[in-house]
Structure 1
Amino acid sequence: MNNHCLKIVPAQLSDLSKILLLESRVYQGYLPWNSTIFQAELCKNDSLYLLVYKETALIALAGIRLQDKEAHITNLAVDPAWQNHGLGTYLIQLLSKFAKKQQCYLISLEVRADNERARLLYESLGFRVRFVHANYYQDVQQDGLGMILELRH
């Protein structure tokens, strides 16, 4: 991420079309969440969604939802042209700091079992596989890995 002038802002409903376009680029036309789900998430008081812009182009999205003293990372999407530049790592670190400030003791996330790149990123940041959800991603018949990170205060 060095030497790049990026702007990170909280997501708003008016960003919805850009968010869906980013997700479509990241997931090769597939949308894990439709506009209705994103709309509901963006309106929740217990969620934070961050958008990363390079000039006017949306290049990344990260989202987290709080429940009691736990946090769950709901989304991490980085435009393919911006992957492997440290942006995913930076966003996970930002979300972790946010969760700590909210007095959360744990962060969880779900990742497809065949997404080795993402799993390795999460493991490098201290996340560990806690359980396997058999056939969690039914549309692509893939297992989901539930990963957790215990936060130190």
Structure 2
Amino acid sequence: MWKKFSQAFYSEHGLAFKAFTFKMNNHCLKIVPAQLSDLSKILLLESRVYQGYLPWNSKIFQAELCKNDSLYLLVYKETALIALAGIRLQDKEAHITNLAVDPAWQNHGLGTYLIQLLSKFAKKQQCYLISLEVRADNERARLLYESLGFRVRFVHANYYQDVQQDGLGMILELRH
């Protein structure tokens, strides 16, 4: 299903990452670190994923893309941005900050692949734990994370204030 066939070094802000091209279900896709110049494409992707709503505005993304302890990966099919995944590292712990897959590409394994890729990246950075938050009512995402070994550690009451939903803090222990 997944076949990696080329690599090149990329880095602008934050953590270094080797960009690569891979095949998924006969589609050629490329994963690259996000750049500030990608901001408008990122916002369009978020708008598609969340039906016009933007959980993160341009200032939040801009700040995140400039952090030295963060990495945001973009998945392209040709020139179309189809997915985004972000991670922040701090004190040997990693936190997945964002995961967005274009609705047309959901249920094809891309979200799973990105979580696994971020987990491998965190492990290479000597992290022992990876965490994330998910809306308590987002059963589909919660089931995905649980299938990858994440477990609920705590509940953040009213974490998603804009939609008045609790957040589940989930963790995955990384084995070295």
Counterpart secondary structure, 1:145: strand
Which SS does the other structure have where 2:27 is aligned?
coil
User: Which of the residues 121, 129, 134 maps onto 2:152?
Assistant: 129
Sequence identity, in percent?
Answer: 99
State how far apart, in whole Å, the 1-side matches of 2:158 and 2:62 are.
26
Relative contact order higher in (CA < 8 Å, ≥ 6 apart): 1
5 Å-filtered alignment, 1:36-47, equals: 36-47=59-70
Distance 1:137 1:119 in 2: 15
Pairwise CA RMSD of aligned residues? 0.6
- How far apart, in 1, do the equivalents of 2:157 and 2:115 lie? 25
Distance 1:92 1:85 in 2: 14
Report the counterpart of residue 174 of structure 2 in structure 1: 151
Which structure has greater strand proportion? 2
1:15-46 residue CA offsets vs partner (Å, 9 max, x unmatched): 00000000010011111111001001101111
For structure 1, the residue ranges without an aligned partner over 5 or more in a row are: none
Q: Aligned equivalents of 2:64 and 2:88: distance in 1?
A: 9
SS of aligned partner of 1:152? coil
1:92 is aligned to 2:127? no
Query: Which contiguous aligned blocks of 4+ residues in structure 1 show a shift greater than 3 angstroms?
Result: none
| TM-score w.r.t. length of structure 2 | 0.86
Q: CA deviation at 1:2?
A: 2.1
Give distance in 2, aligned partners of 1:136 and 1:46. 23
Give 1:11 shift: 0.2
Distance of 1:126 and 1:3 partners within structure 2? 28
Counterpart for residue 140 of structure 1? 163
User: Residues 68-98 of structure 1, C-alpha deviation per residue, up to 9 Å, x if partnerless?
Assistant: 1000000000000000000000000110010
Aligned length: 153
Query: How far is 1:4 from its partner?
Result: 1.3
| Superposition deviation, residue 121 in structure 1 | 0.4
Select which of 20, 23, 33 maps to 2:56: 33
SS in 1 for 2:172: strand
Q: Which residue of 1 aligns with 2:33?
A: 10
1:68 corresponds in structure 2 to: 91
CA separation in 2, counterparts of 1:33 and 1:135? 17
Structure 2, unmatched stretches of 5+, are: 1-23
